[in-house]
Structure 1
Amino acid sequence: MRSEQEMMALIINRAKKDERVRAVYMNGSRTNPNVRKDIFQDYDIVYVVKETEPFINNDEWIHGFGEILMFQEPDKNSRESGMETNFAESYGYLMLFKDGNRIDLHIETNEHMRKHYLSDTLTVPLLDKDNCLPSISAPTDSGYHVKKPTESMYLSCCNNFWWCQQNIAKSIWRDELPYAKFMMECVVRQDLNRMVEWWIGTNTNFEVSTGKVGNYFRKQLPASHWNTYKATYSDDNYENMWAALFSSGELFRQLGKDVARDLSFTYPSQDDENMTEYLNQVRALPSDAKVIFE
């Protein structure tokens, strides 16, 4: 596996030799001083180019970075899915190499760079042939810190978390596994994760990042909360899914009350109590039940 020094030299030297490339910068985890380096970190690289079209029309140039195991063109896939894209401004290549390294390389015009360069606080300039890159501060993950919620954001999160649990309950009773798992992992978990983030934020003065989809929850939560969080994941067994659902409610309740106290909000206890009663009722229903409540 090529070292970081070898990869960075390759990335910069290829840009130096290609007159079409006018500047290079990097963002992502490799620029974050608070992230521990490991063998799976991508190289998130941007080449500022005169035009994108010559690169897109002949992609043989990407093979100069190494022997490719697999690659993806996310912008091309997005367009195929019906999303609006502008290849003339920017285009991306995700490359996984046979030695295990990965480069996420985007090419963009100078105009596109000027619109977006300063928006990411984890940006490091690597090469600037024309002095076109704006001055930027040292990289910091401050732009990714947990943001303090407003009370309306907090209440909306609580409401959606408890409301959507009835969808999971009825799906389990109906033996509709895909919908039950979808609601748990794609809807309810989003609100649970949001509350976890806010709890971490209130305990760190909102000066930390929790990573993508809670990457750092394990090290930022006390062991008791982390163990409860782990218990919110289940397999396809419905009894285990019920247990995970109640674990999610237990954790959300604990953290939600703490956040409400710290931010002078009011936790919606009545919604919590009412939905918990409903869940217990549905869990006890026989498969041939004719009514939910007598």
Structure 2
Amino acid sequence: MEEATSIWDNIRTGLEFKLIDIGGHSISMYNVVVVLCLFIVLKILVKSFEKIVRHKISENSLTDNGKAHAIVQIGKYIIYVIGFVLAIEAFGFNTTTLIISSSALFVGLGFGLQEAFRDLISGIILLFEGDVLIGDVIEMDNGIVGVVKKINLRTSMLRTRDGITMIVPNSQLINDRVINWSNSNKLTRFNVKVGVAYGSDVELVKKLLLESAEELDTVSEQIKPFVRFIDFGESSLDFEIYFWTEEVWRIENSKSELRFSIDRKFRENNISIPFPQRDLHFKSKDFPIND
């Protein structure tokens, strides 16, 4: 019994050992142990929260990984903020007093970190509204197309068609013009323009364009392709072939395959694609020659 009491006294003495004084406030081993235990509990809570959310989404057949990620991210940040406040309290500091005494510092930081705060607010908006989700194919205002790989509070990560990873501030996704090609019904319409020589059989041109589009594996069978005779151009009769596809990410490859097919069919049917022509007319005029 005395030995157990002695061990407990040693543990208590060790926990009461003062490590550092900050502004007249002492931090002991006890405070450090409490914060470490709090950190472990937070990690367990975060892992459990993520597991529960993904399980519930799977049960409800909501397979949208983007929304699941958004819920998990927001929940994690809330847990971490609560944990940070509890850690300050565990060290024996009064959070209310700290906030009041640091108000001037927060104001200065607010002016200096306006862009960062704007990105943080934009990140929260993105995660809550779900307009841009993980796996979406988006086109930025500068014409760059990429797949959203990650959405954090301040920045998002995109992977372009060239395999380049881009870190984009979330404020750009909120404030700039962004096209989200991954819409709700997953089908998006695209078109390819082509001109043929004057005098060509326009009905045959229409037939060949439709055949070329319908033969592509990536073209949707739900909505049939169609052709528009858009204009009498300066050097050609101008057409557009419209088609729907789910393969937004590889659309440029699909367009290329369609152009190859159109060119082959036109050659087989003696339909020529003209190049721009200009007619120049010269007028002769007699100029006096000075001796």
> What TM-score do you get using the length of structure 2 for normalisation?
0.21
**Based on CA coordinates, which of the two structures has the bigger radius of gyration?**
2
> What TM-score do you get using the length of structure 1 for normalisation?
0.21
Higher relative contact order (CA 8 A, sep 6+): 1
Higher helix share: 1
